[in-house]
Structure 1
Amino acid sequence: MRNVFLTVILTTTALFPSFLYAVNEDLAPESATGVQTQATVRARQQLVVTAHPLATQAGYNILQQGGSAADAAVAVQAMLTLVEPQSSGIGGGAFMLYWDNSAQKVTAFDGRETAPAAATEDLFLTTSGTPMNWWDAMVGGRSVGTPGVLAMLELSQKNYGKLPWGKLFNDAISTSEAGFNVTPRLHQLLASKINPGLGRYPQARQYFFTADGEPLPEGYLLTNPALADSLRQIAQQGATALYRGPLADKIITAIKQAKDNPGKLTLSDLQNYQAVERQAICQPFRQYRVCGFPPPTSGGVTILQILLLMALAEPQPLPPDSLEFYHLFTQASRLAYADRARYLADSDFVGVPVDQLLDADYLQQRSQLINPHRDMGQAHPGELPVAISQADDQSPELPCTSHFVIVDRWGNAVSMTTSIEMAFGSTLMAGGFLLNNQLTDFSFVAEVDGKPVANRVQPGKRPRSSMSPMMVFDENNQLIAALGSPGGSRIISYVAENLYRKLSSDISLQQAFNSPHVVNRNGVTELEAGTTAERFAEPLKALGHEIKIRDQNSGLHGFFRQSDGSWGSAADPRREGTALGN
């Protein structure tokens, strides 16, 4: 069959959300490099959709060689580590939903980073007891958590892989040695100085900049022999190569050498890391069953809350680009984000009332707070019988992440969101890859007015996330869709609104992704700049909304089963995603 290959160029600038800890709202974490219309790739046997053409090709090659979706995910992540280093890599973490078609089972694989054993609640406090400036906390070793994505990929591949582990790294190794061309997006992110710490440490400075200190130009052939060597070790020894031995030593050395902001991660933290297999959380919506990832990410619970609140407040589907939709979506979002701030964190450390948050009676009561004629204003979390009284969290969470989806010839599928958190992470490099700054996803303060924050720093704990890999099933429990997005805490909005649009109308998933964004994280209502959403600014103001028109930073990737049984890809026109299938 004919292979179809499409490329989308990054299209929007995106502004940081307003956070505690002095994160500047006016800095731009994504740089615009143009827009290109994305078309749907149709595939009957197998399909890969990722953020970069070389990653898409690497995953597709594995499928063509008889590999499963779990095998292809390893190849995709290895290549993304090279070609999209600003967003994800083996120095970071991820959440994966895996659909085993033969067993009719969806499993949640947790590869989130963990806090060092030596970390304490004052990790991000100054000597005077006040929260650190976010930038000071982020750059260097302090923010680095134990990387988890590689252990998670190995766990899922051992369960569901069909090819030898070592074979999955061939494309990434050869491309690391031969080099790849710097994309417009990578160049723009370097030129924008989005991460002010990127030139601070020698390895990253020498890798991403010329000898004159200029960002690598678009089209520059960038080789990474150090990463090739690291991936070769991992291919031969398994994930243990990252957690023990020379690679582990390199990670710890890089953290210790950041003497301006050293971290607490040790070799024992690496050696003791465990990926976790969890149970996906699923709820009925319309005639479908929608499944998401449980805590420590807040994405699954919060998205399901938004969808269910909308259905309760207005049972009839709303037109996906209407004033009624925009108003209802923002009100449901307010309520869900309020609960998120109070209750969601790592359930291995704190009591997370997932069942109560998704309870039909509780959501019915919450939905009655939605006023169809007026913005409700700041929403408060619902009252739930949790073991302790908790304070709300305002932890920073920035939007440089990646999402990809895969379906193989047997109908098995992956929906995986992967991240090093901030663009270029902590800016520390070891073995040719960047180390994450995911610990800054914790709350910088442990308590407020004597009440503990659920997402406070604790040894071995996984910081709360908004990553939201999702899957959708029909009434016969057949997989019909998988999707997700980068975007920091806005991920939840991006994925929820597109799920609602697709599952409540007859538009295609690509049409949904092309639609303008509306976001409300229990504050201002954000309308995507340069889109038809702007025409709702005045009507929403008349309903009491405080409006901000701004660019958005999504990077949605997904697929949806077509009426003829084939798979149809969808890629966000705001970034440079690609799809390949047959």
Structure 2
Amino acid sequence: MFRPLALFLACQMALPALAQQTSDTVAPEAGTAPTAFGTLSDAARTAMENRDAGRPVEAQDWMVVAANPLAVEAGADVLRDGGTAADAMIAVQAVLGLVEPQSSGLGGGAFLVWYDGESGELTTLDARETAPRRVTPQLFQTAEGEPLEFLDAVVGGRSVGTPGTPMLLEEAHRRWGKASWPGLFDDAIRLAEEGFEVSPRLAGLVADDPEGLSRFPATAAYFLPGGQPLRSGELLKNPDYAATLRKIAAEGADAFYGGSIAEDIVATVRSAEGNPGQLSLGDLADYRVVERPPVCAAYRGAQVCGMGPPSSGALTVGLILGTLEPYDLATLGPRDPESWRLIGDATRLAFADRGRYMADSDFVPVPVKGLLDPAYLSVRSELLRGDDALPEVSAGEPAYDHAQLRGQDESLELPSTSHISIVDADGNALSMTTTIENGFGSRLMTNGFLLNNELTDFSFRTHADGWPIANRVEPGKRPRSSMSPTIVLRDGKPVLVIGSPGGSTIIGYVAQALIAHLDWGMDVQQAVAMPHLVNSFGTYQIELGTTAEEMQQPLADLGYEVKAAEMTSGLHAISLGTTLLGGADPRREGIALGQ
């Protein structure tokens, strides 16, 4: 498993060097060593040097941060030519789907948070995948009613939801784009046709999953040519992906949701050997991106805003921060175990509420107002007044607009995912987290892109303790997500754009970075690089091989079970002040570029 050299360099910097990680039962994507992309511009190489040295990138007019330098350069070209953050996002996503296919792409979904520089309005768009109309709540159960083994559910057509990303690209451009739509795909098409260098990250992840990637012929032919995993540095072409992008560039999202591409998607899903799915042409034709009200939580005089249900991200981050509001984390600092007791137990309490109450609000009532009500947060905050670990946590009782009793969810949520943060010269800000769920999704490939396994984000069980689970599978429903694209506002203006991949650990990564920046005064590069400590489900996970391990014994003395583990976030952040400062997580391959 790869471990980022830059992470260790960051750990040696003279800054508070401790952070939080969410506790999960399956490790996230592996980290990667710094890479040598042979075709990068001088500006991109300088950005990589800044990242690895722990310095933020500074700019005056615009900034883009994403998970691969080739994608960032595509977005920078758009912004340099006067395009908006929405235009740049389309170019970035198109390239990410090629060079980082294990994490996101046309076959997946995304959540987007947009701040409009002209109107001052905040908008969120939900492009989460939907369950096919023919599914039943027993989709991921055996004939005896027991949950399937996770990977048995993931690999194949059963796990594929209706993709949302292509329609999101079109909707964002329709609302906020200025550049010519076809031109936004030029860089991705060129790289797909001429070839790009396989990064160490992609090569390593392919080498880690030969069994899953070899199961279906089209996937095996691309990632395991001649039966051998792709090698770092080799030139890889994807003419099928280029052809798909050309159709979308010429015809818009309709080229994806109907016609030959849609027919190929459905055929691939429904004919998947050993584990076929139920996606239909009707599911694709009926898909819609949904605008939803942003969810904002007060913290330290700012408003921390993000995506509401079916994302649990903004609500759970808001619960963590709201529970911590009465405590002086700034004075305690990141080296005091008391900070991590408070953060860890606030996270555990928030995840208890997440498991009980959060799901697609089009299908179940979610007590958004009740969970973020100051009176409710005060009650939860009082639970932290002790001096050692909470022996147990349970969901609280927030006020409901419509009362319902719900069972506790037990679904897994895995990476792979990617995050994009952009600020343009017009003052618009975009935070978008984009995914195909597990690394390489369902392992099904068609027309040059991988299909998601997003339906495994639903609860495999339908009931717990006799009560229905809010996040159970239902036709047309969007599975709960932890994706947390975030824009922080102060006096109505954006001061921070941030987000991360990481499955359910996303919430802990983002909450930690917010605390590091808002409480501990770290700049964005310091905040995204600091080692992780996260406790979502009872075990306090600390980042292996970093100075976070200094907290292992102090946390154990407080009563926590502690485990050192690889923790591969992919935080990408931009702070907005007198200048723009960009920070890219050194655990992955991303950079920040600006002008």
CA deviation profile, 1:376-407 (whole Å, cap 9, x unmatched): 03210002354221001111111211001111
- Residue 566 of structure 1 corresponds to 579
Match of 2:57 in 1: 41
The 2-side partners of 1:256 and 1:371 are apart by 54
- The Cα offsets for residues 531-567 of structure 1, whole Å up to 9 and x where unpaired, read as 22111111111111111111211010011124xx110
Match of 1:269 in 2: 283
**Counterpart residue identity of residue 37, structure 1:** A
Q: Name the counterpart of 2:509.
A: 494
TM-score (norm 1): 0.94
**SS at the partner of 2:319?**
helix
Which residue in 1 is equivalent to 2:529?
A: 514
Structure 1 Cα separation of the partners of residues 270 and 198 of structure 2: 30
Corresponding residue for residue 557 of structure 1: 572
User: Greater shift after overlay, 308-317 or 529-538?
Assistant: 308-317
Say whether residues 1:382 and 2:422 are aligned partners: no
* Residues 189-208 of structure 1 mapped to structure 2, 5 A cutoff: 189-193=205-209, 196-208=211-223
SS of the aligned residue for 1:102 comes to coil
Structure 1 residue 421 corresponds to structure 2 residue 437: yes
Listed as ranges, the matches of 1:470-549 within 5 Å are: 470-475=486-491, 477-549=492-564
1:326 Cα deviation (Å)? 1.1
Distance in 1 separating the partners of 2:412 and 2:546:
27
Q: Where does structure 1 lack aligned partners over 5 or more consecutive residues?
A: 1-7, 20-24
Instruction: Report the 3-state secondary structure (helix = DSSP H, G, I; strand = E; otherwise coil) of the residue aligned with 2:191.
Output: helix
Alignment of 1:361-400 (within 5 A): 361-386=375-400, 387-400=403-416
**Aligned counterpart, 2:29:** 29
How does 1:8-27 map onto structure 2 within 5 Å? 18-19=24-25, 25=26
Which residue, 166, 170, 177 being the options, matches 1:150? 166
* 1:183/1:219 contact within 8 Å kept: yes
Amino acid aligned to 1:125: Q
Give the whole-Å Cα distance in 2 for the aligned partners of 1:380 and 1:321. 28
> Match of 1:4?
none
Cα deviations across residues 149-189 of structure 1 (Å, max 9, x unaligned)? 11112112101110121111111111110010000000110
Q: Secondary structure at the match of 1:402?
A: strand
- The answer to whether the Cα contact below 8 Å between 1:10 and 1:575 also exists between their aligned partners in 2 is no
SS in structure 2 opposite 1:548? strand
Q: Give how far 1:498 is off.
A: 0.8
Shift in alpha-carbon separation, 1:320–1:28, aligned structure 2, 3 A:
closer
Asked if 2 retains the 8 angstrom alpha-carbon contact of 1:11 and 1:575, the reply is: no
Partner of 1:379, secondary structure, is: coil
Match of 2:457 in 1: 441
Measure, in 2, the Cα distance between the counterparts of 1:316 and 1:511: 16
Q: Tell me if the contact between 2:108 and 2:163 (Cα under 8 Å) persists in the aligned partners.
A: yes
* 1:339 maps to 2:353: yes
When you count helix as a share of all residues, which structure comes out higher? Answer: 2
Deviation of 1:368 (Å): 0.8
Q: How does 1:238-249 map to 2 (within 5 A)?
A: 238-249=252-263
Amino acid paired to 1:30: A
Cα displacement string for residues 433-484 of structure 1 (whole angstroms, at most 9, x for unaligned residues): 0000000000001111320000000000000000000011122x11111000
Give the SS at the match of 2:413. coil
Structural mapping, 1:229-240, within 5 Å: 229-240=243-254
Tell me the CA shift for residue 17 of structure 1. 6.2
Deviates more, 1:501-510 or 1:228-237: 501-510
**Which amino acid is 1:152 matched to?**
L
Aligned-pair distance for 1:517?
0.7
Shift in CA distance, 83/10, structure 1 to aligned 2, threshold 3 Å: farther
Counterpart Cα distance in 2 of 1:419 and 1:32: 19
Q: Distance in 2 between matches of 1:31 and 1:570?
A: 17
Cα deviation digits, residues 188-243 of structure 1 (max 9, x gap)? 101112x74211001110001121x1111111100000000000000011011110
SS at structure 1 position matched to 2:505: helix
Cα deviation per residue 1:76-124 (whole Å; 9 max; x = unaligned)? Answer: 1111000000000010000010110100011101110000000110101
Q: Deviations over 1:258-298 (max 9, x none)?
A: 03100010000000000011111112211212111101010
Aligned to 2:136: 120
Q: 1:357 corresponds to which letter in structure 2?
A: L
SS at match of 1:197: helix
Q: Give the Å deviation of 1:138.
A: 0.3
Instruction: Write the distance in 1 (CA, Å) between the matches of 2:503 and 2:211.
Output: 18
Check whether the contact 2:23–2:540 (CA below 8 A) recurs between aligned residues: no
Q: Structure 1 pair 76/499, CA: closer, same or farther in 2 (3 Å)?
A: same
Tell me which amino acid in the other structure corresponds to 2:374. A
In the TM superposition, residue 507 of structure 1 has moved relative to its aligned partner by 2.0
1:458 to 453, 457, 474: 474
Gap change, CA 1:566 and 1:161, over 3 Å in 2: same
Match of 1:580 in 2: 593
Mapped to 1, the partners of 2:500 and 2:486 lie a distance apart of 10
Matching residue of 1:108: 124
Whole-Å separation in 2 of the counterparts to 1:568 and 1:33: 23
| Gap change, CA 1:168 and 1:9, over 3 Å in 2 | farther
Note closer, same or farther for the CA distance 1:11–1:179 as it changes in structure 2 (3 Å cut): farther
Gap regions ≥5 residues in structure 2: 9-20, 36-51
2:295 matches 1:320: no
CA distance in 1, matches of 2:22, 2:307: 25
SS state at 1:382 partner: coil
Give the distance between the partners of 1:380 and 1:50, measured in 2 at CA. 36
Q: Please tell me whether the aligned partners of residues 28 and 415 of structure 2 are also in contact (alpha carbons under 8 angstroms).
A: no
Q: Distance in 2 between matches of 1:353 and 1:33?
A: 43
Number of residue equivalences: 562
Shift of the 392–31 alpha-carbon distance from structure 1 to 2, 3 Å rule, reads same
The residue number in structure 1 matching 2:271 is 257
Q: Secondary structure at the match of 1:142?
A: helix
Aligned partner letter, 2:495: I
Equivalent positions of 1:77-88 (< 5 A) are 77-88=93-104
TM-score in terms of structure 2 length: 0.92
1:3 match: none
- Report deviation, 1:11: 5.9
Equivalent position amino acid for 1:380 in 2? S
